Structure 1
Amino acid sequence: MDLLIQSPSVDHLIDLKLEELKQRPEGKVLSMVGLEPAKLKPLILPFIGGFGNSLSQISADAFGVSEVFNAENLRKEIDNLMTEKLKELTPQAVKALLERVIRHHLGWLIVWGNVFGGIIGIISKAAHYS
């Protein structure tokens, strides 16, 4: 949360809000007392940091975020999905998958190997290296 508070976008937002405060009657009262709203910025940042942490926890509780994004439930769900996928992988399915990958990637290796081999053969024949 502290990194968010110290970000340039939040800093700019605070400056804008302090400028708005300066135009309102409350800001004029502060100016009459001798406090410019811009001078309040060093006092506001720690307050916002502490308030932000509490507010994020209250918001998470209010919206039930901890129930939806519960880490333990998420781990269990991922474990179940991985178990189901592993059950689907029979030896034949693994063999087919590997063959498909090898044909796709090594097929081009064979083609380019033949092309470069041919080029090297032509160059060596032209240079009389046989």
Structure 2
Amino acid sequence: MLFEKVPGLYGSGVIPARFEDFKLAIKNLMMEQFFTSENIDRFLNKEMSSGINIDLEPVLEKVDFNPAFDSLVEVIENSQFGGMLAMLGGSEALQPMKQPFVEKMQQAVIDISQSDSVKQALIEQLESPAMLDEVKGNVEAIIDQRLSELTPKLVKEIVQKMIKEHLGWLVVWGGVFGGVIGVISSLVM
């Protein structure tokens, strides 16, 4: 009755008839009851205080540090040492040092990323109001995207599946008690 319009039965087919209101109600339920700023903040605080280890090494190992070497060479060429570098063969003379520099730079940045001050700065950034707003906005966008994919037919299938999986015995017992009450009331009359 919620999904199919039954002629002459007021209120039947309410979900397809008011589907946009239904989707808005789902979104409001999710955002106002589950994904409030306070709940997101509490979750992030719990995760951060539980000793989460922010390890940036796998990310930094994928970063290309060659531009750092190129920038260093450019700075040297444009400095007072540029003339001396030109006498020694120019920037080409520094090329054999490129790979060792890149490796050392990468290791230095990894070491810096593992310092307590950087980890604390990351935690503060993750717990900032701007980050909370961004997380809330992302959750809202996910909910909006999924709701836009919903159709009355899909909602009907979801509800039927939920009833079948979780409320089957309730339906059986409701039928049994309804039958017993019906028999008793017909005998009393």
Tell me if both proteins adopt one fold, taking TM over 0.5 as the criterion: no
Task: Give the number of the structure with larger relative contact order, counting CA–CA contacts within 8 Å between residues 6 or more apart.
Answer: 2
- TM-score, scaled relative to structure 1: 0.36
Q: More helix per residue: 1 or 2?
A: 1
